[in-house]
Amino acid sequence: MSTNESAKEQAMELAEDARAVAYEHPSFTAELFKGNFRWDLIHPFPQQDKADREEGEEFMQKLKHVLETYVDPIEIDREGKYPQEALDKLAEIGAFGMKISKDYGGLGFSQMNYSRALSIMGSYCQSTVTWVSAHQSIGVPQPLKLFGTPEQKQKYLPRMAKGDVSAFALTEPNVGSDPAKMEAYAELSEDGEHYILNGTKLWCTNGPSAKLLVVMAKTPPKIVNGKERTQISAFVVETEWEGVEVEFVCDFMGLRGISNGQLAFKNVKVPKENLIGKEGMGLRIALSTLNVGRLGIPAASGGAAKLGVKSVAKWARDRVQWGQSVGKHQSISKKISNMASDTFAMESVVWLASGMTDLPNFDIRLEAAIAKYFCTETAWKICDDYVQVRGGRGYETAHSLWRRGDTPIPIERGMRDARIGRIFEGSSEVMHLILAREMMDTHFSLMMPLMMPKPGQKESKIGLITNALKFYAGWYPGLYFPKGGDYKVQHLNNSCRDHLSYIERNCRKMARTVFHTMGKYQQKLEYEQILLNNFVDIGTDLFVMSATLAYAESWMERNGGKDETPLLLADVWCRDARERIEQNYRRIRKNHNTLYSKVANAVMDEKLDWLYTDIMEDLPPKYRTPPENVKVSVGSEQPVEVGEPVAK
């Protein structure tokens, strides 16, 4: 086996070991992937308890006051610095303890109230969202909540509830989404009392300002079935400890008010009691944390989208061109319609996933991944359309608009802020991979032990074949027959009811097509990522259609069926989704995916020199080599600071 193949196999094993395999509770999306349209799992649409909503209301008013009084997003964007006074005031009202239990001094909010708060922040200042959500959605509080010991919780959660900011340290200069290549290493000391941590972590959101970190690092490997197995573990690290250094503070296209940078750990003594869970559980802890943590970004994106639709309405109505409001021109009205229906779909997904999270009998790992993928991609599209509708004013900064007396709509900043959503906490490409893996899970569990047996596998080949035949004999024929049944909807019109029938038919069609495609490609399917992406996008659209229709039905019921605009929004979105779904089926049947690889290889093999005429180096001479106090890390163009650490 080549070195590359061995590294790939190791990475795959790590990823598989980190997955939570069994579904202890129902998952609407997992059932959808199997061809089962479980409308009963999302209808009636989960509602926030009245008492819970009232509990959050007082905080929402305090939050709005702090934002309006102490947070100036236009100045934060211009100066690239978030005011400490604003952080202090946010801590004072408990914003850093929203997801921390009341037993430890937090607010103990439900996911619904937490999502409401992030929606408010997202409509006003995305940098604020990042400070708060990176701290408690993916920072130290969530891993401790899920895997921490009582002693760890008692020691650290009260501190963080009061405002001691935390961060999540996983990415490294040479390591992105492939944890097998992680270089940070922690080894138990000779006396067994602490771990010695060494390594470098990059793009740690909140990191340069954090008091506490959850750090992922390799620990000594273990032998499993005669093979060495990489172990990645999670630790709580206090930034005041000797050897923790902030090497570099990063600047970004957007989110100009966040604190993000590169941290170094040089012989840091981490007490053994600061190990979260057990050795080797690091990736599982990270994935479990992100399952719920990913819902923060969609909630914030939804808040920004709602403000955008409200804002574009006035502009489209009042701006007159060629004798009528710009919103009356069909090319613009289509964009406005898509912005509104997309925002309604985002709301549906956010509140469905948040409501499921607050219930004890749902597994939302797939819903969270879809919410993150769908809402961040959609938010970017909404921003792009809004800039186009606003024209030159969309491209001009809010500060410039204000200085010359125009309404300072911050869509230019919003677009820059929204772009990172498609990258961090799992890029859209990583979300595709996660969802594709889960989509194939039933077939992998049945067929992979046959096609790629693992060392020490106990079940006989005959037994595996028998189990597979039993499953497929019952499952596959059923994919050709409508399930039928009463969806028990009272307020959906005929058009929306037809969308429900379409979802039921096409979740079965999707499951059949996945099975056929896997039979065609077998082990090679993992290389057909574009095909897998087509399937994921079909599944995503079917899920969002379901959420949108359930939300519309719920909205109509709560408002006595008097306002039918939710049905309009749901109908428009579902019609567009159906067109995308059919297009993805066509791309699965007939495509030119291999051509993409040929062209990409030509680019990487430097065979396109003839194309690069009449250009200059994109960098002035000064920037073509790193400054004297940095070096370029191996296999990366990312400079690594080697000079004095940046002062905290």
Distance between alpha carbon 244 and the CA centroid of its chain, in Å? 28
Residue 61: C-alpha distances to residues 93, 161, 473 (Å): 10, 19, 57
Helix (H) or strand (E) holding 216: strand 212-224
In this structure, the chain runs to a length of 648
260-271 and 244-249 as β-strands: parallel, antiparallel, unpaired? antiparallel
Of 62, 64, 71, the C-alpha closest to 257 is 71
The predicted pLDDT at position 460 comes to 82
What is the rounded distance in angstroms from the CA atom of residue 576 to the CA atom of residue 264? 48
What is the rounded distance in angstroms from the CA atom of residue 44 to the CA atom of residue 25? 18
Residue position matching structure tokens 């007396």:
405
Mean pLDDT for each 10-residue chunk of the chain (648 residues)?
A: 55 57 83 96 95 96 98 98 98 98 97 98 98 96 96 98 97 83 95 97 97 97 83 97 97 97 98 97 91 92 96 88 85 96 98 95 93 98 96 96 96 97 92 93 83 73 88 94 81 95 97 94 88 98 98 94 93 98 97 95 95 90 83 45 36
What is the rounded distance in angstroms from the CA atom of residue 472 to the CA atom of residue 468? 6
Radius of gyration of the chain (CA): 26
Phi and psi angles of residue 542, each rounded to the nearest 5 degrees, phi first: -65, -40
Write the Ramachandran bin of 61: left for phi over 0, alpha for psi from -120 to 50, otherwise beta. alpha
The predicted pLDDT at position 646 comes to 41
| HSE of 567, CA atoms in CB hemisphere, 13 A | 18
The predicted pLDDT at position 624 comes to 86
Residues sharing a CB contact under 8 Å with residue 252, sequence separation 6 or more, in sequence order: 258, 260, 420
What is the rounded distance in angstroms from the CA atom of residue 16 to the CA atom of residue 21? 8
Of 57, 206, 209, 65, the C-alpha closest to 124 is 65
The DSSP string of 76-139 is HHHHT---HHHHHHHHHTTGGGTTS-GGGTS----HHHHHHHHHHHHHH-HHHHHHHHHHHTSS
The predicted pLDDT at position 644 comes to 35
Domain architecture of the chain: domains with CATH: 50-292 (2.40.110.10), 293-426 (1.20.140.10), 436-596 (1.20.140.10)
The predicted pLDDT at position 10 comes to 59
Helix (H) or strand (E) holding 275: strand 275-276
The predicted pLDDT at position 323 comes to 81
| HSE of 196, CA atoms in CB hemisphere, 13 A | 8
Phi and psi angles of residue 223, each rounded to the nearest 5 degrees, phi first: -95, 120
pTM of the entire predicted model: 0.94
- Helix, strand or coil for residue 164? coil
- Helix, strand or coil for residue 582? helix
What is the rounded distance in angstroms from the CA atom of residue 561 to the CA atom of residue 555? 8
The predicted pLDDT at position 205 comes to 96
Sign of the Cα torsion 632, 606, 529, 367 reads: positive
SS (H, E, C) 507-568: HHHHHHHHHHHHHHHHHHHHHCHHHHHHHHHHHHHHHHHHHHHHHHHHHHHHCCCCCCHHHH
Q: Read off the tokens for 115.
A: 């999502």
Sign of the Cα torsion 57, 211, 293, 155 reads: negative
**Cis ω on the peptide bond leading into residue 44 (within 30° of 0)?**
yes
Write the Ramachandran bin of 129: left for phi over 0, alpha for psi from -120 to 50, otherwise beta. alpha
What is the rounded distance in angstroms from the CA atom of residue 100 to the CA atom of residue 114? 11
Residue 364: C-alpha distances to residues 147, 353, 641, 647 (Å): 18, 7, 40, 41
What is the rounded distance in angstroms from the CA atom of residue 18 to the CA atom of residue 284? 4
Residue 127: C-alpha distances to residues 72, 87, 197, 335, 396 (Å): 11, 11, 31, 27, 20
Of 192, 100, 191, 86, the C-alpha closest to 131 is 86
Catalytic residue numbers?
425
